[in-house]
Amino acid sequence: MEILAFGVQSDEKPLMEKAFAGHHEVRCLDVFLNEDTAPIAAGYEIISTSVNATLNNRVLQTLAAGGTQLIAQRSTGFNNIDLEVAERLGLTVARVSYYSPYSVAEFAWTLATAVNRRIVRASNRTRDFDFRLDGLMGRDLRGRTVGVLGTGKIGEAFTRIAHGFGMKLLGWDIAENPACVELGMKYVDKERLFTEADLISLHVPLLPATEHLVGSAALRTMKDDAILVNSSRGGLIDTKALVSELREGRFTGVGLDVYEAEAGLFFLDKSLDVVEDDTLARLVTFPNVLVTSHQAYYTVDAVSQIIETTVANVLDYQAGRRSENVLVPSAPKS
């Protein structure tokens, strides 16, 4: 059987082909699944998608009509999939419920330290042989307060690094993580966290209850010299409200690996296009803002785990097994 995989990056392709070898052939496409590309899947019982795929009603209808029965998404998040429609159409949907939390946690810290120590500005200067230090002053993190919103596996890994820096730890989540408490984390309400933290990092999933978790009210309560990092989901931040605060000269730095309107932009080369997203265009002009293109997960360790789990999801589906990765179950195979 041949598996059709959408949105496969060039670095990811050899890992995909190696992982599926001995099981199935895999056809890797660099295009993302959306309403325009969905007809390509006609005749494929099993497809694999990336986090930036569009799996709305129309796309799912097209897939089902073309004979697709399993959608194996190569990500933890699944807010891009209309699960109710998938279930109604009898589609099986699986995801990757776990991969290396260190990839994202370490990258979040990369963003935090980069904006704190003005690394991008310094690098651009030295390329022009400008070795002045003016405007490059950062701050020691030791002794300052970090606020971690979401203390699951990734939040815990982020917290361990913060503990290594010697920071005071504040956390917010629906349930306390004993490992974080053991490190000295104090759980507080999010209003207090926004008010007291010098560095805030987001590690919660995007749900209706967390959409725009960092909105205008939260942003206004943050310290003027705070650092804000988001390596989770773009919709957690009200970007227009963030731009408004940045225009007032607030915040030491903002590091964003995700953006709420990233679909159709991230993972693509738009360097020769006119970007019509005025909010993003304004956002990247601020000297204290660093935007990367959803690459926090992108290590050989994490991607290998994601692909291996995707292969396992395919094999489980064919054997009629259901694991914790299945979001929408189909009838067991006879």
Burial of 45 per CB tally in 10 Å (0-12, 13-18, 19+): middle
Q: Which two tokens stand for residue 199?
A: 């560095």
Neighbours of 315 (CB within 10 A): 12
Residues 6+ apart with CB under 8 A from 300: 15
Which amino acid, residue 284?
V
Q: Indicate the SS3 state at residue 308.
A: helix
Give 91-153 as a 3 state SS string. Answer: CEEECCCCCCHHHHHHHHHHHHHHHHCCHHHHHHHHHCCCCCCCCCCCCCCCCCEEEEECCCH
Token representation of residue 29: 């496409």
Other Cβ atoms within 10 Å of 305 Cβ, number? 17
> Which are the catalytic amino acids?
233, 262, 294
Please name every residue paired with 49 in a beta bridge, in sequence order, or none if there are none.
73
CA 218, CA 246: separation in Å to the nearest integer?
Answer: 14
